[in-house]
């Protein structure tokens, strides 16, 4: 009973005290509290699930006998479940939670249509469970059941492994969430639109667009042979570069001035960075199709576009690093900003590795090795995951008007995640270069390459283990925050001292 | 940039540009390839029925996570490694849907898995336990595709001839399931041993 009353108090807090300034923010937060907690709860659940599957997949690479007799845990199924739950589970739920909170806060008005968001986010998460079970159960359904699905089991496209029948459901659920975001944006009171809002709108629209292309050109009317491979790779690149990265950039643009209380250095260049990022990043992924059975000019376009990324990347690096370094000592004061600082470093490294990886001389060495996965994980874990984690700590304490239950747990999450991501990414990138050199640069037998890679796989396993410890710490923090009894201090509206309005400081 | 529609239309135009260039144009250019007939033989060859079922098992098990099916002439040592005899081209894949090309090589390329002297028995032992045929490999065992049955009178002629150290207790045998047979049939059908006008064999033209 006590726990239930604590949850009720988390969901609908009663405040005392008087603060004109906070009143508006409290009513804004109150309008989305239930839905955002739903997104955050799912996000953290999927983070733990995906890293657990990532750990199993990583162990299997150096000890193939591990869980070897379970058909549904064979490497070819565990690996796609890791990627799909990481992207559609953790990064989408967390990215949307951060984005929606930014939309209502920057818009300055409480949001309506709560029912639409509740329904669509529930459908999204349930469909995701069904889709991932579809991967795991592939080939295991009884014959009579198998006929009732168009495809039984996974699809062979990167980040699209979930069975085809689930794609329209996920698309519909996303359109519901996207529509809610657009409606929340339209109801804004502050007419000035801040950079974070551009990126959120772009990402919402971009995912609806590329996922529709997938539904039409890969599922309903599949294109011929190799073109499916081309479309799959176009989708995966755009999912990373114009959906997940923009969600995370939106968070960075908001959090830096908000926490530091100073505008972003060189904010007036943000428009150029935004448009050039969307333009170049949306075409840059085809560089890795080099030498394959697709038209060779496609990869040349990708290489040119990848070099175009240098322009927005240099603007981002000047903006983020100058802003952060101007108040460097303050980074250690707040846990949120610490996550975001390392996220920014991760993003700049990701951009550099992405451009380096698209070079023809690099692909000559690293094609088909773990290098590309390492760079993708640098973007997904080193940038997006770090930034979203930081932002969620910031949102949660404001949404619930509670203090973090334990600073130590948050510290544990931060250090484990940072070290783990470093280990995973560096072992995949450096290991991939060595693997590629042996695989593409010599006729060394595959078995001796495997023997050579064992230490890198072990390092990746250690990294995954550390990230898992951090993620479990995050989950405990979240549960304690939600279930703890509200202390007297936490009922006052002035628990959280907000820095000056972002709109004032940014423009 | 203070108007929502401006951002939406701008992003729409940019993404439409990327789609038109990188997806729509290739589909228009090479999305309608027809098979090539030489001496009334169809190239590429169609898969036999059992191999087509094996293709589904290959897809369901996620083999594409570790194995590609494409060989490159201009880069790497695919030809020297015996993974292919020529460059893979779009026409080789016209019958494949979904396409199993893949972009990760944890193990060897399989576009020519049937070439060489690996027979049905070798593939079955390999799937049952890769350590039998390729010691030190990190490929998982697919022993769940095999049944352990009691020997009734005479041993089944489909039972695997396991080496001493991997043998099961006497009175039992390991028999491939229908899915294992289909998967091996698929492996034995993977061979690009024909030439296409756009992809001549490099040895024949003296490259």
Please write the tens of the pLDDT for every residue from B165-188: 999 988 999 999 999 999 999 999
Rounded Cα distance between A210 and B15, Å, is 9
Q: Average pLDDT, whole number, for chain A?
A: 90
Of A275, A439, A451, the CB nearest to B105: A439
> Considering only CB atoms, which chain B residues are within 8 Å of A363?
75
User: CB A442 to CB B77 under 8 A?
Assistant: yes
Q: Average pLDDT, whole number, for chain B?
A: 90
Residue B38's beta-bridge partner residues? Answer: B41
Residue of A nearest to B64 (CA): A156
Pair of tokens at residue A273: 């960075």
Q: Give the residue among A275, A152, A312, A259 at the shortest CA–CA distance from B6.
A: A275
Q: What is the pLDDT of residue A327?
A: 87
pLDDT bracket for residue A16 (50, 70, 90):
low
User: CB B11 to CB A202 under 8 A?
Assistant: yes
- Whether the per-residue pLDDT at A452 is higher than 60: the answer is yes
Rounded Cα distance between A466 and B127, Å, is 33
Contact A219, A170 (CB under 8 A): no
User: CB B94 to CB A77 under 8 A?
Assistant: no
Contact A428, A456 (CB under 8 A): yes
Rounded Cα distance between B105 and B92, Å, is 20
Rounded Cα distance between A177 and A117, Å, is 6
Please write the tens of the pLDDT for every residue from A351-381: 999 999 999 999 999 999 999 999 999 999 9
Task: Indicate the SS3 state at residue B94.
Answer: coil
> Considering only CB atoms, which chain B residues are within 8 Å of A61?
106, 138
User: CB B74 to CB A442 under 8 A?
Assistant: no
Q: Give the residue among B136, B88, B146 at the shortest CA–CA distance from B112.
A: B88
Contact A449, A434 (CB under 8 A): no
Full-model pTM: 0.94
Count of positions (residues) in chain B: 207
Of B2, B12, B26, the CB nearest to A298: B26
Q: Which residues of A2-29 are buried (b: 16+ CB within 10 A; e: fewer)?
A: eeeeeeebbeebebeeeeeebeebbebb
Residue B126 Cα, gap to closest chain A Cα (Å): 14
Residue A57 Cα, gap to closest chain B Cα (Å): 11
Which domains, ranges and CATH numbers included, belong to chain B?
47-140 (1.10.760.10)
User: CB B100 to CB A156 under 8 A?
Assistant: yes
Q: What is the pLDDT of residue B9?
A: 93
Please write the tens of the pLDDT for every residue from A55-99: 999 999 999 989 988 899 999 999 999 999 999 999 999 999 999
Residue A179's beta-bridge partner residues? Answer: none
Q: What is the pLDDT of residue A1?
A: 64
Helix spans in A367-501 (H): 371-377, 386-400, 407-441, 446-483
Residue A346's beta-bridge partner residues? Answer: none
Domain A18-506 has CATH 3.90.650.10: no
> Considering only CB atoms, which chain A residues are within 8 Å of B64?
76, 156
- Domain boundaries along the sequence of chain A: 18-506
Rounded Cα distance between A47 and A49, Å, is 6
Q: Residue B193: is it exposed, middle or buried by C-beta count within 10 angstroms (0-12/13-18/19+)?
A: exposed
Of B7, B19, B27, the CB nearest to A201: B7
Question: Which of B93, B94, B99, B102 best probes binding to A when mutated, by most A CB atoms within 10 angstroms?
Answer: B99
Residue B175's beta-bridge partner residues? Answer: B147
Of B4, B15, B76, the CB nearest to A209: B15
Rounded Cα distance between A371 and A339, Å, is 25
Residue B158 Cα, gap to closest chain A Cα (Å): 22
């Amino acid at each position: 009973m006590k726990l239930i009353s604590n949850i009720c108090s988390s969901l609908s807090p009663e405040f005392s005290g008087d603060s004109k300034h906070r009143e508006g923010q409290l009513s804004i937060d109150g309008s989305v509290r239930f839905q955002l907690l739903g997104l955050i709860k799912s996000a953290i659940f999927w983070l733990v699930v995906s890293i657990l599957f990532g750990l199993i997949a990583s162990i299997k690479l150096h000890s193939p006998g591990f869980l070897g007799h379970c058909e549904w845990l064979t490497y070819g199924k565990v690996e796609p479940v890791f990627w799909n739950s990481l992207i559609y589970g953790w990064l989408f739920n967390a990215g949307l939670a951060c984005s929606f909170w930014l939309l209502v806060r920057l818009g300055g008005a409480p949001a309506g249509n709560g029912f639409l968001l509740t329904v669509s986010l529930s459908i999204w998460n349930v469909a995701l469970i069904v889709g991932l079970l579809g991967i795991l159960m592939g080939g295991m359904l009884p014959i009579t059941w198998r006929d009732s699905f168009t495809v039984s089991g996974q699809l062979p496209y990167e980040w699209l492994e979930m069975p085809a029948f689930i794609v329209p459901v996920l698309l519909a659920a996303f359109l519901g969430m996207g529509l809610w975001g657009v409606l929340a944006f339209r109801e804004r009171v502050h007419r000035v639109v801040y950079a974070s809002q551009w990126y959120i709108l772009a990402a919402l629209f971009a995912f609806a667009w590329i996922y529709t292309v997938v539904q039409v050109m890969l599922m309903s009317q599949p294109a011929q042979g190799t073109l499916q491979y081309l479309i799959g790779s176009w989708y995966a690149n755009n999912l990373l570069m114009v959906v997940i990265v923009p969600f995370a950039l939106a968070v960075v643009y908001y959090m830096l001035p908000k926490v530091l209380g100073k505008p972003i250095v060189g904010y007036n260049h943000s428009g150029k960075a935004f448009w050039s990022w969307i333009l170049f990043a949306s075409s840059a992924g085809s560089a890795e199709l080099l030498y394959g059975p697709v038209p060779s000019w496609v990869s040349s376009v990708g290489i040119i576009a990848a070099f175009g990324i240098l322009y927005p990347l240099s603007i981002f690096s000047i903006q983020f690093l100058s802003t952060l370094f101007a108040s460097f000592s303050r980074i250690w004061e707040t846990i949120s900003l610490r996550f975001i600082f390392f996220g920014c470093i991760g993003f700049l490294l990701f951009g550099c590795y992405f451009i380096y990886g698209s070079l023809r001389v690099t692909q000559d060495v690293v094609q088909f090795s773990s290098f590309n996965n390492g760079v993708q994980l640098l973007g997904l874990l080193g940038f997006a995951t770090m930034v979203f984690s930081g932002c969620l700590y910031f949102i949660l304490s404001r949404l619930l008007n509670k203090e973090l239950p334990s600073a130590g747990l948050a510290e544990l999450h931060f250090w484990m995640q940072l070290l783990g991501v470093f280990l995973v990414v560096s072992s995949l990138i450096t290991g991939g270069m060595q693997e590629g050199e042996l695989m593409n640069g010599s006729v060394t037998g595959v078995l001796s390459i495997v023997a050579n890679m064992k230490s890198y796989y072990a390092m990746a396993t250690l990294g995954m283990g550390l990230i898992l410890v951090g993620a479990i710490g995050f989950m405990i923090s979240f549960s304690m925050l939600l279930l703890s009894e509200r202390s007297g201090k936490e009922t006052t509206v002035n628990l959280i001292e907000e820095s000056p309005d972002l709109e004032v400081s940014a423009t | 940039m203070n108007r929502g529609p401006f951002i939406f239309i701008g992003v729409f135009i940019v993404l439409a540009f990327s789609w038109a260039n990188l997806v729509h144009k290739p589909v228009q250019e090479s999305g309608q390839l027809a098979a090539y007939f030489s001496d009334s033989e169809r190239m590429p060859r169609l898969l036999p029925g059992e191999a087509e079922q094996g293709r589904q098992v290959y897809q369901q098990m996620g083999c594409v996570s570790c194995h590609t099916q494409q060989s490159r002439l201009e880069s790497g040592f695919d030809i020297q490694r015996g993974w292919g005899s020529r460059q893979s081209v779009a026409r080789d894949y016209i019958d494949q849907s979904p396409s199993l090309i893949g972009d990760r090589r944890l193990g060897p390329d399989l576009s020519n898995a049937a070439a060489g002297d690996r027979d049905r028995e070798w593939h079955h032992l390999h799937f049952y336990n890769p350590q039998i045929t390729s010691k030190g490999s990190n490929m998982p065992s697919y022993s769940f595709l095999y049944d352990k049955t009691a020997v009734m009178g005479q041993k089944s002629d489909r039972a695997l001839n396991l080496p001493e150290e991997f043998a099961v207790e006497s009175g039992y045998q390991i028999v491939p399931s229908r899915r294992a047979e289909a998967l091996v049939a698929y492996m034995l059908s993977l061979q690009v041993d024909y030439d296409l006008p756009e992809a001549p064999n490099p040895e024949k033209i003296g490259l």
